[in-house]
Amino acid sequence: MIHEDAEPRVQRPERTATARSVLMCRPEHFTVVYRINPWMDPQLPTDTSLAMSQWDALYRTYLELGFDVQLIDPIEGLPDMVYAANGGFVIDNIAYGASFTYPERQPEGPAYMDWFRRNGFEVAEPEHINEGEGDFLLVGDTILAGTGFRSASDSHLELGRLYGREVVSLTLIDPSFYHLDTALAVLDGTPGREHIAYLPSAFDEPSLGILRARYPDAIIVNDEDASVLGLNSFSDGYNVVIASRALDFERQLRGHGYNPIGVDLSELLLGGGGVKCCTLELRR
């Protein structure tokens, strides 16, 4: 009899969940009134109350996973503030503030920095354009840093100086995957067990060479799953919260020993964001 399970058994390492501390922002003022990425179309209607209930399902998922979830107050007139990942980058209790590319989002930088200050983080005011954890991802002791559309490569140098960690620059080339967290997911960031997933076509050749050499066992996500922002996911090392429509990614995650949890953020996809965009990790 043929075995139903097509995944190779040898490839199922033990995975360990570590409850995370994250910052989120309710989409109370979410809508699409400008276009700063190809997903956004101000002509299409948005449904703020649907955005709220979908976001709430993500929020409750994190609480059920035992996460500590902090909330920043949404500000009227800043419809993209729900994408908290862009509000900064936090390691060692130091928050590197964001400095947004487009004027529409610029006031979010100081708003998030205020929150960090009021909540006991040391704030490093940015000198260079950067969109926080949208473009910076910690994997082991290395910071993977995206550039090409939003964060300036000068911000990568600033990051390296600030945290004294290795920063690896990766260049994004597809406007639909304009932030690193839309093209690459950190599944296990534990030093020595680093594991990621990514969409190869989102990167230029030199960056792809780096990814292949450093992460030979990475999960390669297909275009279909990437097109529902499947990679824009958040992992605690075992549970991986992903877009419910990213079916092949879900199957691959199971094969690698993870527990994928699907959520539907279709409304927030109209702004060009998904699970990870709504989530900023706070590392004290």
Residues designated catalytic: 179, 277
Binding ligand ARG by CB under 6 A: which of 46, 54, 182, 239? Answer: 182
Task: State the Cα–Cα distance between residues 263 and 245, nearest whole angstrom.
Answer: 8
User: What separation in angstroms does the CA of 187 have from each of 138, 174, 233?
Assistant: 11, 22, 9
Q: Which residue has the tokens 């990766």?
A: 170
What mask of x and - would describe binding to ligand ARG in positions 191 to 210, judged by CB under 6 A? --------------------
Binding ligand ARG by CB under 6 A: which of 88, 148, 260, 272? Answer: 272
Quick check: 134 binds ligand ARG (CB under 6 A)? yes
CB of 87 to ligand ARG, least distance (A): 9
Binding ligand ARG by CB under 6 A: which of 85, 95, 145, 187? Answer: 85
Task: State the Cα–Cα distance between residues 156 and 31, nearest whole angstrom.
Answer: 31
- Name residues contacting ligand ARG, limited to 65-84 (CB under 6 A): 80, 83
Q: Which is nearer to ligand ARG, 137 or 218 (CB)?
A: 137
Q: Hey, how many other C-beta atoms are within 10 angstroms of the C-beta on 190?
A: 13
By CB atoms closer than 10 A (0-12, 13-18, 19+), residue 254 is middle
Spell 117-126 as b/e; 16+ CB within 10 A means b: eeeebebbeb
CB of 178 to ligand ARG, least distance (A): 7
CB of 276 to ligand ARG, least distance (A): 6
Which residue from 279, 256, 257, 176 is spatially nearest to 224, judged by alpha carbons? 176
Task: State the Cα–Cα distance between residues 39 and 186, nearest whole angstrom.
Answer: 23
Q: Which is nearer to ligand ARG, 85 or 152 (CB)?
A: 85
- Name residues contacting ligand ARG, limited to 102-131 (CB under 6 A): 105
User: Taking contact as CB under 6 A, which single stretch among the options 87-95, 122-130, 214-222, 265-273 is the one that binds ligand ARG?
Assistant: 265-273
Look up residue 18 and give its DSSP letter.
-
Q: Which residue has the tokens 């680093």?
A: 194
CB of 180 to ligand ARG, least distance (A): 8
Q: Which residues bind ligand ARG (CB under 6 A)?
A: 36-37, 40, 80, 83, 85-86, 105, 134, 179, 181-182, 271-273, 277
